[in-house]
Amino acid sequence: MNPGIRQRLIEVSERFEELERLLSEPEVIGDRQRFQACSREYGELEPVIRVWRQHQAADRAVTEARDLLEENDAELRKMAREEIQRAEEEQKKLQNELQVLLLPKDPNDERSIFLEIRAGTGGQEAALFAGDLLRMYTRYAEQLGWAVEIMSAQYGEAGGYREIIARIAGRGAYSRLKFEAGTHRVQRVPATESQGRIHTSACTVAILPEVNEIDAVDINTKDLRIDTFRSSGAGGQHVNTTDSAIRITHLPTGIVVECQDERSQHKNKARALSLLSARLLEAEVEQQRSQQAADRKLQVGSGDRSERIRTYNFPQGRVTDHRIGLTLYHLDSILEGALDELIEPLQLAHQSELLAAMGNY
* Domain spans of the chain, in order of start: 3-101, 113-212+278-351
Mode of pairing for the β-strands spanning 224-229 and 199-209: unpaired
Using CA atoms, how far apart are residues 344 and 321, in angstroms rounded to an integer? 12
3-state DSSP assignment of residue 165: strand
State which amino acid sits at residue 56.
Q
Give the pLDDT confidence score for residue 305 in this predicted structure.
45
Nearest residue to 207 (alpha-carbon basis) of 113, 297, 308:
113
pLDDT of residue 268: 85
Rounded CA-CA distance 144/7 in Å is 38
3-101 folds as Methane Monooxygenase Hydroxylase; Chain G, domain 1 (1.20.58)
Q: Which residues of the chain have pLDDT under 70?
A: 1, 192, 212-217, 231-242, 262-263, 285-307, 357-361
pLDDT of res. 8: 83
Q: Classify 67 as helix, strand or coil.
A: helix
Q: How far is CA 4 from CA 12, 15, 32, 225, 261, in A?
A: 12, 17, 35, 52, 51
* CATH architecture under which domain 113-212+278-351 falls: 2-Layer Sandwich (3.30)
Please tell me the pTM assigned to this model: 0.67
Residues contacting 199, CB < 8 A, separation 6+: 122, 125, 187, 188, 189, 190, 193
How many whole angstroms separate alpha carbon 56 and alpha carbon 98? 12
Q: How far apart are CA 112 and CA 108, in angstroms?
A: 9
Check residue 276 and give its pLDDT. Answer: 87
pLDDT tens digit sequence for 178-219: 999 999 999 999 876 777 789 999 999 999 988 765 455 677
